């Protein structure tokens, strides 16, 4: 199929479905590992490292994968990475103990790096300045759908079936996503689309001299450290200590999965909405300011020892997360030339993975000193400085 015949909707379904199903094993592990260490054969002290190590290894991988994405066909990276993700989840199911689980997490790090960098590049291929936010938002909707489904189904099925059968089911679903992408995803390449939105200054030729891209990287780091790192890694403990129903009707894993799925489903709604607003307003930075303020307020509410405040905090954090994630991808496309997109996405993802990798071990290291409330307050304070930077750049019509 010629590139000119490709439509975003034609590409989005196999791309989004493959991405969503790839998350089944990872989302399940985040939901159940803190409370099912015995079945996994590890100590609680190893949970933070295992949940963060896949992101740590991506620090070394995102750059080379981004460079490869600028020179290779997108499918050459995306499709094999889905099957590698299925293999990593099968390792969780088939083995026991710290070192085999560590190997599985390293494999998942390699897999997700290729999935996300090439997937984001595909979205930028099929969109332009006038609709980049919208299509980025819809792609992130698939991402959030996968995370929500994995958390919810993983939590429920672990309570019903047990840890290992649930992991086997996740591996099978990820392999199914790989098959769909293999059969249906077309190659998008790197079409040269002219910019339709006037900029105040030419795009920088060097990624590292691009001030706007540095701001996007900071936003990505902070969001990933706070939400994808510290909060998700401690969600099971939050439920166990403050929201548990004491085993009546539902287990802790089920409640944790429901909460993770619910907040992720809210992010699904916010992602396309924020992206579309940024297209129509011509001001992605302003949408980023609003998302960051809402996120800081949400984390602050989690410090209250009251179920209503905690649930509201999760809702606000979910709404902020959908907007921030979408805008990071769209702004990257706005700020760099077409031939630099793979490297730019790889760099932004590396910065984000640094935050995600540090989040779980830092959170578990701080817990004995701060408790959950102190930890979440520190996270709220981390989100505030980026609001100032985003407000400054909101004057740029990008």
Give the single-character DSSP code of 231. Answer: I
Cβ–Cβ under 8 Å, residues 366 and 217: no
C-alpha 197/C-alpha 148 separation (Å) is: 35
CATH class of 7-187+209-393: mainly alpha
Given its phi and psi angles, is residue 152 left (phi above 0), alpha (psi -120 to 50 degrees) or beta?
alpha
The predicted pLDDT at position 288 comes to 85
Average pLDDT over residues 23-41: 88
Scan for tokens 């938002």, then name that residue: 137
Across 82-86, 152-156, 210-214, 255-259, the highest mean pLDDT is recorded for 82-86
- DSSP per-residue string spanning 194-230: ---S--SSPPPSSGGG-HHHHHHHHHHHHHIIIIIII
pLDDT digits (tens, 9 = 90+) for 69-110: 988 889 999 999 999 999 999 999 999 999 999 999 999 999
Closest CA to 218 of 392, 30, 19: 392
The predicted pLDDT at position 345 comes to 93
* Domain residue extents for the chain: 7-187+209-393
The fraction of the chain above a pLDDT of 70, given in percent, is 88
Q: pTM here?
A: 0.81
The predicted pLDDT at position 381 comes to 92
C-alpha 62/C-alpha 79 separation (Å) is: 17
C-alpha 191/C-alpha 316 separation (Å) is: 37
Q: With 50 as the cut, is the pLDDT of residue 398 above it? A: no
Q: With 90 as the cut, is the pLDDT of residue 246 above it? A: no
C-alpha 173/C-alpha 160 separation (Å) is: 18
The predicted pLDDT at position 373 comes to 87
Average pLDDT over residues 160-180: 95
pLDDT digits (tens, 9 = 90+) for 329-385: 999 988 888 788 889 999 998 998 888 778 888 998 998 898 888 999 999 999 888
Q: Which residues contact 361 (CB under 8 A, 6 or more apart)?
A: 48, 49, 52
> Mean of the per-residue pLDDT values for the chain?
84
The fraction of the chain above a pLDDT of 90, given in percent, is 36
Q: Helix 98-125 crosses helix 8-22 at what angle (to 10 degrees)?
A: 170
């Amino acid at each position: 199929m010629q590139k000119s015949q490709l439509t975003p909707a034609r590409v989005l379904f196999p791309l989004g479905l493959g991405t969503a199903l790839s998350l089944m094993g990872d989302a399940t592990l985040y939901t159940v590992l803190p409370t099912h260490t015995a079945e996994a054969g590890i100590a609680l002290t190893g949970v933070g490292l295992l949940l963060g190590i896949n992101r740590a290894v991506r620090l070394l991988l995102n750059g080379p994968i981004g460079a490869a994405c600028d020179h290779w066909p997108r499918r050459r990276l995306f499709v094999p990475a889905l099957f590698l993700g299925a293999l990593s989840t099968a390792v969780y199911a088939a083995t026991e103990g710290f070192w085999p689980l560590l190997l599985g997490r390293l494999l998942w790090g390699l897999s997700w790096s290729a999935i996300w960098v090439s997937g984001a590049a595909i979205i930028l291929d099929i969109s332009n300045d006038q609709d980049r936010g919208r299509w980025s938002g819809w792609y992130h909707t698939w991402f959030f759908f996968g995370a929500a489904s994995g958390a919810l189904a993983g939590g429920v099925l672990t309570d019903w079936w047990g840890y290992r059968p649930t992991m086997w089911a996740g591996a099978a679903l990820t392999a199914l996503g790989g098959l769909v992408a293999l059969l249906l995803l077309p190659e998008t390449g790197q079409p040269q689309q002219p910019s339709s939105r006037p900029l105040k200054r030419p795009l920088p030729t060097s990624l590292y001299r691009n001030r706007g891209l540095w701001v996007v990287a900071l936003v990505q780091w902070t969001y990933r450290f706070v939400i994808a790192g510290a909060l998700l890694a401690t969600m099971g403990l939050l439920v166990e200590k403050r929201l548990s129903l004491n085993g009546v009707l539902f287990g802790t894993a089920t409640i944790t999965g429901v909460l993770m799925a619910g907040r992720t489903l809210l992010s699904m709604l916010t992602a396309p909405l924020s992206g579309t607003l940024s297209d129509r307003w011509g001001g992605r930075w302003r949408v980023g300011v609003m998302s960051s303020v809402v996120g800081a307020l949400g984390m602050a509410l989690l410090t209250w020892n009251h179920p209503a405040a905690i649930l509201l905090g999760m809702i606000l954090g979910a709404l902020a997360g959908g907007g921030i994630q979408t805008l990071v991808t769209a702004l990257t496309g706005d700020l760099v030339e077409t031939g630099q997109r793979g490297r730019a996405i790889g760099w932004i993802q590396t910065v984000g993975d640094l935050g995600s990798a540090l989040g779980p071990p830092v959170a578990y290291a701080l817990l004995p000193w701060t408790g959950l409330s102190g930890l979440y307050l520190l996270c709220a304070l981390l989100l505030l400085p980026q609001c100032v930077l985003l407000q400054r750049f909101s004057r740029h019509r990008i």
